[in-house]
Structure 1
Amino acid sequence: MTYGFCFAILQLLIACSPSESQNIAAEEQSEASSPAVISPTEEPETLVVVFGDSLYAGYGLAPDEGFAPDLQKALNEAGQDVKVHNAGVSGDTTAAGLRRMDFVLDSLSRKPDLVLLGLGGNDLLRGLKPADTRANMEAMVKKLSELDIPVLITGMLAPPNLGKEYSDQFNIIYPALAKKYEASLYPFFMDGVVGRSDLILPDGLHPNAEGIDVIVERITPSVADALQG
């Protein structure tokens, strides 16, 4: 059920999303105006950037219901002065993410204290070679590492219909990179939501507001640990 639902998610990540070129242009136009829960006049103690695709971007949700604002709320309620910056773009592949990473980092007011990196689902849908996905992911993790920015990688799972060889090559990407670069790892972003129709939007694929709450509840301890180093 988990693998089947993963594949269903992947189908919508790109099917209802803009092209990569449109994504990059949209990111450049929207970075300065992205909604933030904390007032722009405030300078939080901690800056977290969530960098991913539609699962990060809050597809189908109100601006205050997506992953970024919900994670910020959870961290704030835990007593941490944190701003979570939403750098999710629907439809992004790892290649598109790599191309826009410099722009996102340069647009920030300061170096982030943590980046959550969640890409790869659209690579699966397009049948891109796992070696290419790994190369793109590694380039991003390496770039962040060289900038001394801690990373929490959130993984995806390849559906079994792509074959065991493909799945084995893809699924190892996230834990292998986490180990190589001493990054934190959250193995599967949709953990706790898969197979729960009550936690999914009417499209049957993306998490609804309650689904985001479950994801955030499960991932927040990992984020807190990553912030503590």
Structure 2
Amino acid sequence: MKRIRFEDYFDKTSDVLAIFVVCVPISFFIGWIIYGISRRVLRALEKPSPDHLYWRTMLVLGVILVAFLLVYFFYCLLCFIKELLRHAAIRRKCKTYGHDWDALLHCRRCDEVQPHEHNWDGCRCTLCGEVRSEGHVWNGCKCSICGEVRSEGHDWKIETCPSCGGSGVVTRFPDSAVAYREYSWDEREEPCGCTHPIERVCQICGKREDASEQK
């Protein structure tokens, strides 16, 4: 059974529209009710200027924000509960009527894999697409079938920082000839700021490592 992830159900445009269409009006309504109650409490406590425009504006904005967060939280909670119930119904349907297998031996409803004997092509099964830890076809450091990268077989190429040329420092030039004469060579050098002045980059997988000691 495919694992349910909370974030899988809130990345669609329809979810965003639903949040604004449903949550915003309800939040304003709840916020207005909270504002009325808060205003009465301020009057009862005899706080200074409860009807002042500034305090009223801040109070309205605060209660609307709190109301929106509450409504949004309960909306997400209801959506998640809905998905849990839907998956439970799918499991019950597959258990009662059997799975609906596709060409790759996966159930179209619950994503269960049909029991079968694997037909391995290197590291990948041609029937279900499962990948095993052996049988890789290595092209240097990367498997040409599944894309897994190993710690050996890299095709390294040395690259240096274009700003400092691998030295780690850059020369700071003065703005005028007078200032140029007043500076010493040490004063005109400053750290480059690059992470690695000299790096080695794998041409196959793109891995980068510090290569300053290999220069």
Tell me the TM-score normalized by structure 1.
Answer: 0.18
* Higher CA-based Rg: 2
